[in-house]
Structure 1
């Protein structure tokens, strides 16, 4: 978050923004999804993890299928927190024996979950402010093309000329 900020990758993966935390429950954008993840953990914990009174998960992302991407915070060292994914479609957890960075690298390479990429295999991260700017111009942040729905919501969008 410190380096790239709030945003999403290819309209597939949105990163949740942490807010100031008071105790073991996060705030900001993470709070609602973490509450959902903890509820799912209590109802159907992953194999080998049991069902502790306070589920050891913090949500950090949501994908296009509304799956929750979480850290399993059962270690003191955050660098050792594995990634757990709650599949809303499969109604099950999968715990990956790697941290967030390795998980993302494997995800973007298609080793974990096939993700849409452009023809060159490039996956784009779009900062939330850039997405808002593009939408205001009537451009889809996902494709870079004119947004065919731009005039359906809000005030008319400015038209771009060839040179823009």
Structure 2
């Protein structure tokens, strides 16, 4: 499964996408990012799917350090991992890197267990059940499996994305522009 499958299922609106300076971001964050995530950012950018799942973008603060929502949610995820992570210790909290948060405050992360970021599994903190689950796939495949109802069970506390035949994605700027025109962007 690849980004082209996701684009077919969830076409990005004109003007979507983000030009991330990956060299600078990866230097500041001290890690590479998965290629499917980079492709997602190139085509979609940060924003929301169905006003439920917020996809985060890595940013750098004025001092050249990691910052923004991805940094904040990663800190929350690492704290949750430390307090409620699996007892078999798949990895340490600092190996957890958040890439999305949903409307029920579930955290979607990568577990940085390999030097190759394309080999990182997705781990989800399902807040409603106070449970971490691991999925042996990348971000794009994980999303496609949700939209196609292909996971053994829905991996999130809320169900707005499960089996969504035509999911919609809006960047924050697109959502604001539609709202400013007097329309509900999610209607």
Q: TM-score range by the shorter chain?
A: 0.7 to 0.9
Alpha-carbon shift at residue 101 of structure 1 (Å): 1.4
Match of 1:48 among 67, 88, 106: 88
> Structure 1, unaligned stretches of length 5 or more?
144-164
Which digits, 9 at most, give the CA deviation of each residue in 1:23-49, with x for residues without a partner?
xx8422201110010001111112533
Q: Write the distance in 2 (CA, Å) between the matches of 1:59 and 1:50.
A: 16
Alpha-carbon shift at residue 107 of structure 1 (Å): 1.1
Taking structure 2 as the reference length, what is the TM-score of the superposition?
0.66
Q: Report SS of the residue matched to 2:82.
A: helix
Query: Which one has a bigger Cα radius of gyration?
Result: 1
Q: Using CA pairs below 8 Å that are at least 6 residues apart, which structure has the higher relative contact order?
A: 2
Match of 1:123 among 151, 167, 187: 167
Which digits, 9 at most, give the CA deviation of each residue in 1:105-152, with x for residues without a partner?
1011123327436xx821111121110001111211111xxxxxxxxx
Matches within 5 A, 1:14-29: 14-20=54-60, 26-29=66-69
Q: Report SS of the residue matched to 2:59.
A: coil
What is the Cα-based RMSD across aligned positions, in Å?
Answer: 2.1
Alpha-carbon shift at residue 15 of structure 1 (Å): 0.3
Matches within 5 A, 1:30-109: 30-50=70-90, 52=92, 54-109=93-148
Q: Report SS of the residue matched to 2:186.
A: coil
8 Å Cα contact 1:72-1:83 kept in structure 2: yes
> Structure 2, unaligned stretches of length 5 or more?
1-40
2:174 maps to 1:135? no
Give the total of aligned pairs: 137
Higher helix share: 2
Matches within 5 A, 1:3-18: 3-18=43-58
Taking structure 1 as the reference length, what is the TM-score of the superposition?
0.75
Q: Write the distance in 2 (CA, Å) between the matches of 1:111 and 1:43.
A: 30
8 Å Cα contact 2:91-2:113 kept in structure 1: no
